[in-house]
Structure 1
Amino acid sequence: MSQISSNSYREGRAALVICETINTAKEIYEELKSSIKGEIILYSRSDKESLSKIDKELEPGDVIVATNLAGRGTDIKVSKKVNSNGGLFVILSFLSENTRVELQAFGRTARKGKPGSAQIIACTEHLQHDFRSATSLEEAKITRNRLAAEKISSMMDDVSEMNLREDLFSEYCETLHDIYKKTDGDDRKVIVAIMNEFWGIWLQIKSEDIEQRKKSELQQSLKKDLSVARQESSSQTSPCSSIYHYINFGNIFLDDKKWENSARLFDKAMKQDKSWAAIAFYSHAYCTIQLSKGDYLTQAKEDLQKAQESLKYLCEECLVCLQFIKMASVDSGKGEPSSLEKQMTSKCSMYRFFDKNITEAIQKRQLGNKT
């Protein structure tokens, strides 16, 4: 404010100060309150209360401080006296991102053939580095227009990529639609979940080809890969080599006490990857006991033993990871254990408790058989 000239030029006009943000509008409003002789109005929101403040005609010396969005489309009235002195004076307090926004702001004055003028009075301190070297407003505008053109070019590239992604997604949706027609119930839920996971992984793998717009190659690859993935999903084999979805939906049925449905999904997880299916074996044993069919105790014991064997791989993996984390902590010179180290330590402890629980369950089954 100290840099503003106190000399008057064409007195008797009203002014509209357009700001980029609400915070900027409030700051300028607070600074101007003490120096404006006329009425000063803050118009930062397009609500009824704010609109009522600017519903009357502006008199000479009145100032409206408004945001660019709030002031857009607002009919600002000025008195005959203001018009006779040159009309509304619009001040744009920032360098807009493109010429269109600038012209929209300047269009707030001299409407319907009435007089008016506009000017940009902007602070350059907050502008990006490209504008710092500009020695005049014209140079700044040239830089602004160049950056705007680059932005539009980048957006057009993005549109091209989005269209390609949309075409690929449409192809995937056709596959899903066919799955919905030919499957139902639990199998449909699992297959759809597996296919969704496969689709996400496929997009990640093909991200570079998508950026290079290899449309025909991508469409051919997607059709082939979706066909293979669907066949694998239908034959109880996850295309992502993941047993998560079988276990996840199995747990849902377990909570609902739907033992047969739950056992069937856990069985798929066990067949998919027995090395990492400890929880599937354990939960399948529980379902087998609840169903109590045939020699269920022997079957449950076998499941628990396989769960214990599978758990060894999980424990080994966890311990190796924990060891590497501790080595990294020593190298970095950190004395306190990191959050990741604490997490892996807790995970190892959980696996030990799980192993103990399985051992106790097997012993109880053996005691039950003896009696």
Structure 2
Amino acid sequence: MSLMHASTAPTRRPTASGTLMGWVLVATFPGILMLTWHFGWGVITNVVTAAGLAVGLEALMVRLRGRAPLVALRDNSALLSGVLLGISLPPGSAWWLILVGTVAAIVVAKHLFGGLGQNPFNPAMVGYALLLISFPVAMTQWLSPQGLFGPEALSLGDVLVRWAGLAEASSLDSMSGATPLDAFKHKPEAVMASEFWASDPLPAGSLAAWRSVALAWLAGGALLLYKRLITWHIPIAMLGAMLVLTTLLYAIDPSHYGSPLFHLLGGAALFGAFFIATDPVSAATSRKGKLYYGAAIGILVMLIRSAGAYPDAVAFAVLLMNFAVPFIDYYTQPRTYGHAAPQRGIRLDPIDDDQERLP
């Protein structure tokens, strides 16, 4: 992420990109700590590996483009992309899986489009979506919430075995469990929601773990709002659209649709609303555009969760709306300070009839 878009009216001095990224990294700490507390050391290995690879690939690409790597790395954008990607992956993911995702994020989604500020898509979500499509089995092996120090928790050594790709497939299956959204998505059609939850389909403590993680992301998002690093428009529009749709679906058929609380706290909705959808490079920029952009993401998340093949869908919804950002920005341009009306493709220096016109 970076603070790349200029304001349309006089405002306070913009925050430097490196400082902005640093505060966003700080805001991820509550979520990372809560994920680690519930899902163990694999969260740390994910984040450290992805962050290190992202910084290394950023330095390599910047060097190949003839620029000084140390200067470019000061904006912390690659570090943040790596951290966000590592957070999104199943805890204890293998190094090669993280490498593939990081290459897709930094090399393909960022530098092949021109580098920081030129990428039309959120780099971390490009890497995540590629991995989810290409390696669906590895991307659905979420560890059960066995804790960090509990009797059933994996030791750091066990996690490093998984990270190195040396764990047997049978042991991976035995340690993994479905996420709440995934379990509910694939419940038999004939089974009512009450019957489904009564059967204890999830490992013990899963719902509570995911809800506490979601609230930790909410705390981090509140810090971003307090520091004025993001505005409320995208998160509130996204979560509000999800709340409206899931309330309607739950009111129509509570036996086959999850409750509003389940959808808001059972997956990556809050993480996506505050840390992914608000990326100022790939998100809409005007206030009205941010509302449309965020609401459309929330609608797409619920449509994909309800009728699509993927249980969470935040990454796909954000990437789809990244496509639409130029269109949204064009039709929601605010009036530029000092002008009477928005300038949408209006030539400021019109050519006179007697001037030569270019073909």
Shorter-chain TM range is under 0.3
Q: Of the two structures, which has the highest relative contact order with CA contacts closer than 8 Å and spacing of 6 or more?
A: 2
Alignment TM-score, normalising by the size of structure 1: 0.21
Computing the radius of gyration from Cα coordinates, the structure with the larger value is 1
Would you tell me which structure has more strand in proportion to its own residues?
Answer: 1
